[in-house]
Amino acid sequence: MQIIPLRPLTTHQVAQFCAVTIPGVIRWVKAGKLKAYTTPGGHRRIRSEDLLAFMQRYGMPIPEGLSLANRNRVLIVDDDPGILHMIRRTLSKIQPPLEIETAADGFDAGQKSVVFLPHIVLLDLRLPGIDGFQVCENLKKNPKTSAAKIIAMTGADTPQARRKILDRGADAYLPKPFELRILIEEISRLLGIRLEFGRDPAAVNIKRSEGHG
């Protein structure tokens, strides 16, 4: 499966995805049906999210790669396999769908974040090696990942920990245990969209496991 890049598309690429000619794409743009902009060099470019909206509006088949490229991306970072599995399973049932990746330590989180480019990072603070505080600081300092919204999670809740991680750039702080419903609400707030769950997750808690944060 081809994943359509997140960078703007050329009229040639759009023509291929829609199975039409380049002049056909240009006619859509001139008619105001398909949003586009012109580069300083005079070339038309179409944002992938605008192409997706156009294809949905006119009932055109959506390439799977285009749909995936426009999903909000969530990176879950926790060294507890049980928590990783539970959060991933819950978020996989969210509508509209989220693209989900996981990391089990700070080093793995750093490597995956620059490739995955998450919109949201669910970050446990007590990680082996590079801890969550340093991961948060690294993400916020890197231009590629600085826009990511970071939700810090910890079972070692103290006023000092809360203040420290917020000072490092975290956008939200959730002490364990917390209800998954609360997590979904925080993700919705930070993304600025309404997320819906197939069933009420309020009774499912994320707890602190022995030896984990």
Confidence grade of residue 63 (pLDDT, cut at 50, 70, 90) = confident
Same domain, 195 and 99: yes
Nearest Cα neighbor of 90 from 172, 177, 203 is: 203
What number is the average pLDDT over the span 79-90?
93
Read off the CATH number of the domain in which 197 is found.
3.40.50.2300
Rounded distance, CA 79 to CA 183, Å? 18
Residue 203 pLDDT: 42
| 133 and 196 co-located in one domain | yes
**Are residues 80 and 60 located together in one domain of the fold?**
no
- CATH number for the domain harbouring residue 58: 1.10.1660.10
Residues 84 and 109 placed together within one structural domain of the fold: yes
Do both 92 and 187 map to the same domain? yes
Cα-flanking dihedrals φ and ψ of residue 41, to 5°?
-85, 0
pLDDT > 70? residue 148: yes
Please compute the mean of the pLDDT values over residues 90-113 and round it to a whole number. Answer: 91
How many percent of the chain have pLDDT more than 90? 60
* Domains contained in the chain, number: 2
pLDDT tens-digit readout, 152-205: 999 899 999 999 999 999 999 999 888 888 999 999 999 888 888 765 554 445
Q: What does the pLDDT read at residue 49?
A: 74
Q: How many Å apart are CA 124 and CA 81, to the nearest integer?
A: 12
Specify the 3-state DSSP secondary structure of 94.
strand
State the pLDDT confidence band at 212, using cuts at 50, 70 and 90: low
Judged against a pLDDT cut of 60, whether residue 65 lies above it is answered with yes
Q: Are 150 and 141 in contact (CB under 8 A)?
A: no
Question: DSSP for 60-89?
Answer: PPPPHHHHHHTSEEEEEE-S-HHHHHHHHH
Q: Is the pLDDT of residue 110 over 60?
A: yes
d(CA 132, CA 109): 10
Q: For the residues 3-21, what does the mean pLDDT come to?
A: 81
102 and 150 fall within a common domain: yes
Q: Please report the pLDDT score of residue 109 as a whole number.
A: 96
Is 114 within the bounds of a domain? yes
In this structure, of 48-52, 103-107, 196-200, the range with the lowest mean pLDDT score is 196-200
Of 19, 35, 68, the residue at which a domain comes to its end is 68
pLDDT at 7: 65
- pLDDT for the residue numbered 202: 46
Q: Note down the domain range covering 42.
A: 9-68
